[in-house]
Amino acid sequence: MDWTDAPVSGGEQRPMKVCVIGAGPGGIVAAKVLLEHGFEVTVVDKYRRVGGIWSPGGCYDGLANQSALRLFEFADLPNRLRFASAVDTQRYLERYAETFGVLDRVRPGTEVVSVRPVDGPGRVGASGWVVDSRPVDDRTAPVRRETFDHVVVASGAHHHPRVPDLPGRASFGGTVLHSNDVRAGTFTGRRVVVVGGGKSALDLATRAAREAASATLVQRKVNWMIPERLLFGTVGYRWILFTRLGEALLPRYHDPACVRPIDRLHDRVKRVLWWLVTQDMLLSAGFLRLPERLRPAQPLPFHLAHAGVMPRGYVSALRRGLLAAEVSAVEAFTDKGLRLASGREVAADVVVFATGHHRVFPFLDLPVHDEAGRLRLYRGIVPPGVDRLGFVGFRQVFNNVMGVELTAHWLVRHFLGTLRVKPDEEGMRRAVDARLDWQERVLPGTGGYDFGPYDIHCADELMHDMGLPSLRTGNPLAEYLLPGGVAHRYRGLSREGVPSPVNGTPQP
């Protein structure tokens, strides 16, 4: 049996013990679903409060949610906020954890030092996992060693900064930060240069335009940004981008089981429709009010996976001259700031690198990346050939709250052995290879992690594996025209297709 240990005295079987690493959105929803199925759950998190990057100190000061109404919510707890602050977002996550009994299972302020398989014959992890942890603020504290039947890694993808190693660093006398480390007052009265072209870079550059003595954004290329409202500013973006009809315009998904007739539109039809969407996006996001060099060079859906929601005030700051923008790579530090590949030099007191993160797991004694640094996880969840270990939060989609919740349901069924569709180890490896090849063609630069705008296709894939209906409304018009990449359509999944726990222990 995969879900219970040998019977204890009296013939009873003890619940399986699970360690969930991380109490961000992925960790708390995984813990909630595991508890519903009778597992004994311990959640370990380095922050003092649940929420991951939304916790105090979890990311840059001023981080805000880019989700429209009903997008940043779990299926069983409505959230009426839209474009919420980090404070309000963390409160929602904490309320969720408290409502479903997860908060009592969290060990805050604790870092995981090591996760390794229990010694024994058979497959990696077949006998469980040894987890070492200690207080995050006391490196001299003794390590706490525990054995768990399963481990869920939900440590987040935005905690290990990627900062380029540029020549001349020693000559620069100013402050160099990663975006994660920006705090209140960092920019006040100083010359600020933000390096990067993603959502966090634009966020921080817009903030610097308000607070700094001068503000400059340096980006190698201009990425697409999604306006809060499309169709000439009249319709919220979720009504376009989070529908089956909208996703049908994307390049065909890699898994044939999730390709529907509407997805088989001819490429020429798609190109025409994408041209129309591109023109509307340029107008609605404000790109047409900017010089051509500050507009995306490629038409949609090029690099749509890297898009975020356009920060309020960004276009206005550029037009008013409060923010300067350079489209160039950075070559080196100078004693005064940065030298760009274009030959220009930019003076700075503070340089902020909003240049992304490494998706690594220093505590895990197990290789899960390929030589190119891409995550090799079947369905973005489990490493082939490894038992009783799964990852939640590394199958990124636009609406990642919905994504991590469905991932949690899939993973629990994997632990229970009740998935309807699951290949053997070799089949998993082939599926990973095929999916990575597809991502390199369609979503270049996503590292095997980001599925971008394929919210509903990703959901359909997991539902198919679980043997559950992917069409959730019973109304074809609603199914294809209303937002489908939303969690509330998947309410009650723990009761669908899985035998109920008996005496706290999952049954076959």
Interval 105-160: pLDDT, tens: 999 999 999 999 997 656 788 899 999 999 998 888 999 999 999 999 999 988 89
The backbone region for 48, taken as left when phi is positive above 0, alpha when psi lies in -120 to 50, beta otherwise, is: alpha
Q: Which amino acid would we find at residue 32? A: K
Chain-centre distance of CA 500, in angstroms?
30
Query: What percent of the chain clears pLDDT 90, i.e. is strictly above it?
Result: 82
Query: Which pLDDT score, from 0 to 100, does residue 200 have?
Result: 95
The residue that leads in pLDDT, 12 or 164, is: 164
pLDDT of residue 120: 63
Give the number of other Cβ atoms within 10 Å of residue 273's Cβ. 15
pLDDT value of residue 5: 43
pLDDT at 264: 94
**Sorting pLDDT into bands at 50, 70 and 90, what band is 501?**
very low
Specify whether domain 14-160+358-495 bears CATH 3.10.50.30: no
CATH of domain 169-353: 3.50.50.60
Residues 309-315, mean pLDDT to the nearest whole number: 95
CA distance 370 to 381: 15
Helix (H) or strand (E) holding 21: strand 17-21
Spatial distance between the Cα atoms of 186 and 346, rounded to a whole number of angstroms: 18
CA gap 480, 73 in Å, rounded: 21
**pLDDT bucket at 508, cuts 50 / 70 / 90:** very low
Q: What is the pLDDT of residue 157?
A: 87
DSSP structural state of residue 446: -
Whether residue 95 has pLDDT greater than 60: yes
In this predicted structure, what is the pLDDT of residue 201?
A: 96
Among 42, 203, 21, 217, residue whose Cα is nearest residue 115: 21
Q: Which pLDDT value is given to residue 500? A: 46
Closest C-alpha to 92, from 106, 61, 107, 71: 71
User: What is the Cα–Cα distance from 21 to 111, expressed in whole angstroms?
Assistant: 9
Element (H, E) at 457: helix 455-466
Which of 132-136, 356-360, 379-383, 456-460 is least confident?
A: 356-360
pLDDT computed for residue 121 by the predictor: 58
Q: Do domains 14-160+358-495 and 169-353 have the same CATH topology?
A: yes
- The pLDDT value given to residue 4: 39
Q: Answer whether residue 503 shows pLDDT above 50.
A: no
Banded model confidence at residue 496, pLDDT cuts 50, 70, 90: confident
Share above pLDDT 70 across residues of the chain, in percent, rounded to a whole number: 95
Q: pLDDT tier at 495 (50, 70, 90 boundaries)?
A: confident
Question: Among 11-20, 275-284, 344-353, 455-464, where is mean pLDDT lowest?
Answer: 11-20
Q: Give the pLDDT of residue 139.
A: 84
pLDDT bracket for residue 12 (50, 70, 90): low
Average pLDDT (482-497) is: 90
Q: What is the pLDDT of residues 435-452, one digit of tens each?
A: 999 999 999 888 889 999
| 267-306 pLDDT tens trace | 999 999 999 999 999 999 999 999 999 999 988 988 888 8
pLDDT of residue 502: 36
Distance, CA of 248 to CA of 296 (rounded, Å) = 23
Quick one: average pLDDT of 246-251?
Answer: 94
- Average pLDDT, whole number, for the chain? 92
Q: How far is CA 327 from the centre of its chain?
A: 27
Pairwise CA distance, residues 253 & 144, whole Å:
44
pLDDT tens, 176-185? Answer: 999 999 999 9
At residue 89, the pLDDT reads 95
pLDDT of residue 504: 40
Half-sphere exposure at residue 490, Cβ-oriented, CA atoms within 13 angstroms: 31
Above 80 in pLDDT, residue 7? no
Residue 474: the pLDDT is 87
| Residue-wise pLDDT tens digits, 26-43 | 999 999 999 999 999 999
Return the pLDDT at 446. 87
Please determine, for residue 93, whether its predicted confidence score (pLDDT) is greater than 60.
Answer: yes
- For the cut 80, the answer to whether the pLDDT of residue 497 exceeds it is no
* Structure token digits, residue 462: 């997991």
The domain limits of the chain are 14-160+358-495, 169-353
Sheet (strand 144-148) strand order: 110-117, 129-135, 144-148
